Structure formats: C-alpha cells, structure tokens
Structure 1
Amino acid sequence: MVVLLVLAVVAVLAAFAGLHYYAYRRLVRATTAGPGWPRRLGAAVFVAGPVLMFAAIAAERAGAPFPLQRALAWPGFLWMAFALYLLLALLVGEAVRPVLRRVLDRGTRRPGPAADEAAPEPAPEPAPAPEPAPVAAPTRRLVLARTVGAASAVAAAGIVGNGAYGVLRGPKVKRVTVPLAKLPRSAHGFRIAVVSDVHLGPVLGRGFAERVVDIVNGTQPDLIAVVGDLVDGSVEDLAPAVAPLARLRSRHGTYFVTGNHEYFSGADPWVAHVREIGMRPLANARVEMGAFDLAGVNDISGANHGEGPDYGKALGDRDTSRAAVLLAHQPVMIHEAVKHGVDLQLSGHTHGGQLWPGNFVADAANPTLAGLESYGDTQLYVSRGAGAWGPPVRVGAPSDITVVELASRQA
C-alpha cells in the first residue's frame, strides 16, 4: 500500500513538472531569441512559482508560524490558479497556432512580375557606400510564439484577476424555496441562511469575515446555519479573524457543524471557541425549533479522531411525524440522511468546483455539486460556499450565501 502511494505521488509530481516544463518551453524558450536575462528571468519564475505553491500548502498543513503562512499564501496559491489557466490557454494556442501561421505566411508573400512582362534592364548605378549591418528582424516562428505566449499569459492573468475579484468582493445571496410535506402551516416561510466554506485563514481574514456577517445579517434570517469549513488554521492564529462572527443576528440564533477542514487544526478547540462567540454547535445533536427538528452531525473526517457522525444520536429517538432539517457538511452524507427519514439536508464542501474545469471532478465525487436535488423523500441543498480554499479565486462557480425558505404544503 505504501509503495503504491509513493508511486502515485511520484507520478503526480512528474506530471506536474512536465506540464510546467511545457509551459516554460512555450512561454519562455520559444519567445526569446537566445540565452540572456529574459530567458533567465522566465526560468526563475517557473521555478519559484511551484516552489512557493508547495511551500504555501505545506506551511498551512504543518501549522507553521502564521506570519509565514500569510507571506507564502498569496503568491503560492495565486500561482496555482495562474498555472492552471496558463496551461489551458497554451493548449488553446496549440489549436490556433496553425491558423496564425497561415496568416503570417500570407502576409509575407510578395507578388512577382507578370510572366509576359519583360523586365527592363536596370541602369547602371554607382557602387553604394558601405552601411552598417541591419539588425535581423524576428523570424515568423518567433513572432508566432510571442503572439501566442502573450495572449495566453494575458488571458490567464485576466481570468485569475476576475476570479479573485469575485471572491474578495464577497458572496452573493441566493434564495431557494423548499417545500416540506411535514412542515406545519405555522412555519411556512421560515428562512435559514446557509453559510458554508468561508475558509478564514492565511488569505481570507477579518475583513472578509466582516463582509460575510454584513451580507448574512442583511437577509434578516430566522436562523443561521454554518455548515462547516469555517476556518483553515488554529484558534490561536484565527481568533481575531473569526471575532466578527459574534455579530451574526437571527431570530433563533446561529448553529454550527464541523467540516473536514476544522479537523486539520483540531476541531474541539474550534467547537469550544464558536460557542464562546455565540454560535451553538450541533455535534451529533438535535434541537426542537417548535415547528420542526434541527439536527447536526460531525463531519466524516471526524471519524479519524473518534468524533465521526452519529446519526442515531442526532436523529434516532425523534418524533418522525415532525419535519427534520439536518446540517451535514458533505453531500455524500445524504444517504444516511435518507435512511433516518430526514426531510432536508443542508451541506457545502464542494465549492461548486471552484475552478473550472474542477467542477467535473467535484461533480463526480459528490452526489450533488450545487443546488437542490431530491433523493426519495429527502431533499438535499448544497451551497457553493462563501469563500475559497487555496487560491482566493473562483471561475465558473460563484460564491454564495443561500437563504433557504421552508414552505408548508398546507399553506
């Protein structure tokens, strides 16, 4: 097993290095006329970028000093997104290259004299004075390489820049109405603000948390559900960033369940801390909201720490004639929710793929990528999340905070 894991890691690293070398060849070697400082600078960038990326990931996972994490996170994670879209743009350039080559060839052709025209004898001219040798013009191959390379780099930078702006300006509010057969008329229109995957950490900090709080409070919800992956780091490092969440306001309070990222730095300290700032953790627990039951289970990752989801504890002895809403971080938990007669599960985790074409991978790994779907009598709503992990960039998967409005079929 260990040998297979090592071989898999080596294969991934080899593929990663090969793709970077391909991008270097196309963007640096093919666009520079020969050895010199431009080529050396390009080589340095293509070495520093991956090194910073791996250093950023390693520093976060190893719990390195927080200032070091922050110093590495922005350049390292942005390189991750930029390298992805640079590679995709260069691959598109491979398809466009033959067309550009024909255009350049056509533009360099010069019509000769007609065959039936006699060329006049040139008059003798005096020998010209010697001139300095002209500077050689760039070859067509060099012009083509520079055109494709520049267009690829500009496209990648534009995509990443726009995706980063979308994250940093804050999530947009989505509104979804979910009818529940068991919901009494008295609870018709009950609004739950679903907040997932904020990922406060070395990149998104206190300012982003304040933006999220203002957006959530602006929806005036009846209840706030924080469904995991709130943080990427320890309480010691991130307590100041999380502090604004104490201002979250709703009629029935804020409830919290763990996501997989809480377990990277220790879920128990975070469960204690969110309680201190006014949230109510639902660690395999249930509360009666009057018209329906609200339950929450720990994330699947907690099983490695002896704190996995316990559906029996959260749902086993409840009155099944009442509607039940379950907070569970990962969509794959829907299958247990169905077995326990849950009416609605609220989840996050997928980020909607975050970076296209990552949505195809995320879709294959989860029963629902984003939005509302039914599984028998149980409905599942998956939020794309409010923040971002790794690169503070989203492409094709805009961030959201969703207001889920429960509807009674008796109304």
Structure 2
Amino acid sequence: MQTTLADFIKDTEAGREADAILRTCVHCGFCTATCPTYQLLGDELDGPRGRIYLIKQMLEGQPVTEKTRLHLDRCLTCRACETTCPSGVAYGRLVDLGRYIVEQKVPRTGVDKAARWLLREFVPRPRLFGAAMKMGRLARPLLPKVLADKVPLAAPAGRWPEARHARKMLSLAGCAQPAMAPAINAATARVLDAVGISLVQLGGTGCCGAVRHHLNDHAGGKDDARRNIDTWWPMIEAGEIEAIVMTASGCGVQVKDYGHFLASDPAYAAKAARVSELTRDIAEVLADELDALAACLPTPPESPTPLAFHSPCTLQHGLKVKGKVEAIMAVAGYAPTPVKDSHLCCGSAGTYSLLQPTLSKTLRDNKLTALQAGGAACIASANIGCITHLQTGTDTPVQHWVELVDARLLR
C-alpha cells in the first residue's frame, strides 16, 4: 500500500514505522474474515482493512473526525487479523499509533474524556485499586448487578513457597490481578515449586503499562515499564533468574514489547530488550517441564474431566502460544472440549468491556455459548480480564488454568 505521509509525521520515528507497516498491506481482505467487530457490525470501517485506510488517510493529512475515532475505538486490538494476515502486517502497532494521533487531532470531551482519565489513573495503581475492590466487596450485596459483576469474590491466595530452589524465575505482581484474583500468582508459585523452580515476586513491580498505553498515555505506559525494569534489573544483571513469568497473557504481550517501546531510550533500550527476551507465559514454562509436572500429579484417569478452555487473544494472537495449555491440562487429567470459533475475542480486551459495553456483552455471550456447548462443568482461561468478564455472564466457574493444575498437585 503506497503512502505519502504528511509533514507532521513523515520525518518522525513513528512515521517511519507506520509507513513500513502500511506498505506491507496488500489489501487482500483476509483479515475481515476473523475480525469480531466486522462480523458483528458488517461495516468495512469496523474491520482491519477499513481501519488501516482510515489511519492511512489521517497520516497523509486528510481530515480526521469523531467518526474516525469511533471506528478505531471499536477495535478490540485482539490481533486475530495478524494471525490471519498472509503479509505479516503489524496491525496492533499501527492501530495504537492511529488512536494516539486521532486523540491529538480530535480531543475527547465530557463523560468520555473523564471515564478514560479515571481508568488511566485508577486501574494501574494497585493500592488504590485494591482498596476500592475491598470496599466494593463489602458493599456488593447493595450494588446493582452490573456493578456487582465487576467486583468478584476473591479466593484466598494460600501459601507462597519460600525461594528454596537454585532455579529461580521472576513474576509480575500486576495491578488488577492481585486485588481481583490473588490466588493466581500464588498457585503459579506452588506449581513451579513442585517442579523445582522458585518464583520470586518483588515488591516494586506493578502495572505492566498496558492500561495506560492502550488508553493513549504512551508516556505513562513507558514509565510503568521503566519502573518494572528497575525493580527486576539487579537480579537479571546478577544472573540469578532464568525467566520472567507472566500469569496474565495481556501483561505478557505488553512486557514482551518493552524492547520495542523503549528502543529509542538510551538508558533503557538494552535493559528493555533483555527483559523482553526473558519474558515467558507460564504455559511456555510448564510445557518445558511436562515430565517433572507429571511426577507431581496423580496418574491421569481413563475418563479425564471435561474442561472448556478459552484461549485469550493475547495468548494465541499476541504471544502466538497455541496448544501448550491443552497439553498441560491433559497431563493434569483434564480433557479440553471443542470450542467453536475459538479464535474470536470474548469482548474483555482490557478496558473495552467498560468503554464499549454493548459490543463487549454480545461477544461475551457468543463466547460463552461456544464454551458451554461441550457440557464442561468448568471454564479455564489465561488472563484475569477474560476470566472476570466471562464470569459476569455465567454461573459456571471460570478460573485460571494454573489454579486447576495447582488443585491437582500431590501434597
């Protein structure tokens, strides 16, 4: 796709990246077949190809309107289009840039502006978010269902094993997950401990930066990245850890991109690249330890327990991790059931469920129909946002898959 960038962007680093991405697009349209919003709305401008044209026009200096912003806002950034694209178009990076620029050209006002500011400033602060979640749980019986659904009851975290093994890995505390589901990282620590790996969670880490970045505060997202890097770096530099483990696939995608986000920062470029290199989803780690894991679990029964597994978009399209969770669950005695259109988003997508509630709810209901068609009594996923979002639409328990593995450990 030929482009002629406008003066405001053409000689910038962002402009050069956007131009390179646009030139890889051949306008084939394969992406529309796997785009959740195009399937729901049937509008070319609500699919990747149409959005690419809107961004191209904007970068070439053509007028930008609230309609442009609306179509970009409706994108889930699920990146299913990237998995489908035969040309390797880095759509996720392009749409992030497009949203950032359109926000400068068509500033938000009123409730829309206030809601996004609140999410940017509130969610990434673990202490503030955690305090609000505690208050919400106390008031939960009095809240309207739409609000009560956003305040899940949290299972106790349980024991975190001491760091007793020579093999050590770091974890990210995160922002929402410690308050909403503290058992996930603790369960991960117990499973890794069982296979001879100590998981270390340092107090200085927090939000990965995804919330701010995807709400167009790119500078704030980079500050989050620098804080996490600074906290991890002494152990990395000393060669004390072999990986940084992600238990939320959404955070994994963001941390994997630290090297890209901070490539032009001379003080952090090399460190960020090393952090990206070390970052692995917990499924990748345990898939390499299957024999050791099997020795810590009962022999799989002849009739495994049916399990509906929802692979988050960030896991299958962002991190390109496919089939590993299913292999681990088979060792743990579960049989994943077939899920129709498993490539489609559940509608969570970070803050999307709050900012685009109608589309998000439709996608959630469609996903739950597909997940429950196999008759499984439990749904598993790999990202706190997906887990919480799916649970708002069903009485079937929704958990992180690592919690289910932890529950099966021989103790």
Question: Which protein shows a greater Rg?
Answer: 1
Higher helix share: 2
TM over 0.5: no
Per residue, is there more strand in 1 or in 2? 1
Relative to the length of structure 2, the TM-score reads: 0.33
TM-score where L is the length of structure 1: 0.33
Q: Which has the higher contact order (CA 8 A, sep 6+)?
A: 1
